[in-house]
Amino acid sequence: MLIVRVGDASAAHGAEHGDYDGWVARGLAGGGPVTTRVVDPRGGGALPSPRDLAGVVVTGSSAMVTDRAEWSGRTAAFLREAVAADVPALGICYGHQLLADALGGEAGWNPRGREIGTVAITLTRAGEEDALLGVLAESGPVFSAQSTHRQVVLRLPEGAARLAENALDPNQAIRVGRRAWGVQFHPEFDAAYLRTLLHERRPAIEAEGLDADALLAGCHDTDTGPRLLARFADLARRG
């Protein structure tokens, strides 16, 4: 299973807590043993042929898809190849936006503003019936997840399915083709890390008119992320 790391955790969280790729790997292993490899294209890391992989996860990033960085373009081409080869793929936050953008959709600044904290998200009917997102429907259509982003998927690729939504983003989760998913939220994050980000970004958050104290008070751990990542690994194992 390839983890394409395109972002870094805040140094304020401390090195002992790990980083995006380690958190993703831990979640993937929640349902059983999984072998992972990490490639960081930002430093020139070469992306292998998707056909040699059981699955692919693209992490979040503090970069923006609209920056059109060279490494992002290479990763977008890699995702197009993975989808064409029917390799299970999961894009998280930036990876979600890049997946949609790479396949003919559009990513850009959220006209509704920043979303950060532990947020409520609702599965669509398609989401409740989806092979991946459906694992979250066991306790009803509404679930909580950790989130932090300013850009979103503005337009879906042709034929994509909308799987989850909320008031700040109608495209919280999507499926493109048979086995490529994007989630705007962060299944690898816990509440402790969200609190770190809220403290770190307080000035910007408050300048935008958001209540940082209320967002901090609303942070709580959820089993959404572990369940979703373990389910993705299980689907990849099935081939």
Q: What is the pLDDT of residues 129-168, one digit of tens each?
A: 999 999 999 889 999 999 999 999 999 999 999 999 999 9
Position 231, amino acid: R
180/152 Cα distance (integer angstroms):
17
Residue 93 designated active-site: yes
130/146 Cα distance (integer angstroms):
21
- The pLDDT value recorded for residue 173 is 98
Sequence spans of domains, the chain = 2-238
Q: What are 2-23's pLDDT values in tens digits? A: 999 999 999 888 777 899 999 9
**Helices (DSSP H) in 46-168: which residue ranges?**
70-84, 94-102, 125-128
180/95 Cα distance (integer angstroms):
11
161/177 Cα distance (integer angstroms):
9
φ, ψ dihedrals at 8, nearest 5°: -130, 140
First to last CA, the chain: 12
Instruction: Count Cβ atoms below 10 Å from residue 11 Cβ, excluding itself.
Output: 9
DSSP state of 45: P
Topology annotation, domain 2-238? Rossmann fold (3.40.50)
Q: For the chain, what's the residue count? A: 239
| pLDDT band of 228, cuts 50, 70, 90 | very high
Residue 103: which of 136, 128, 81 has the closest Cα? 81
Catalytic residue among 96, 115, 186, 219: 186
Catalytic residue among 93, 96, 115, 219: 93
- The pLDDT value recorded for residue 136 is 97
| Percent above pLDDT 90 for the chain | 95
DSSP SS3 for 47: coil
Q: What are 87-143's pLDDT values in tens digits? A: 999 999 999 999 999 999 999 999 999 999 999 999 999 999 999 999 999 889 999
Catalytic residue among 96, 149, 188, 219: 188
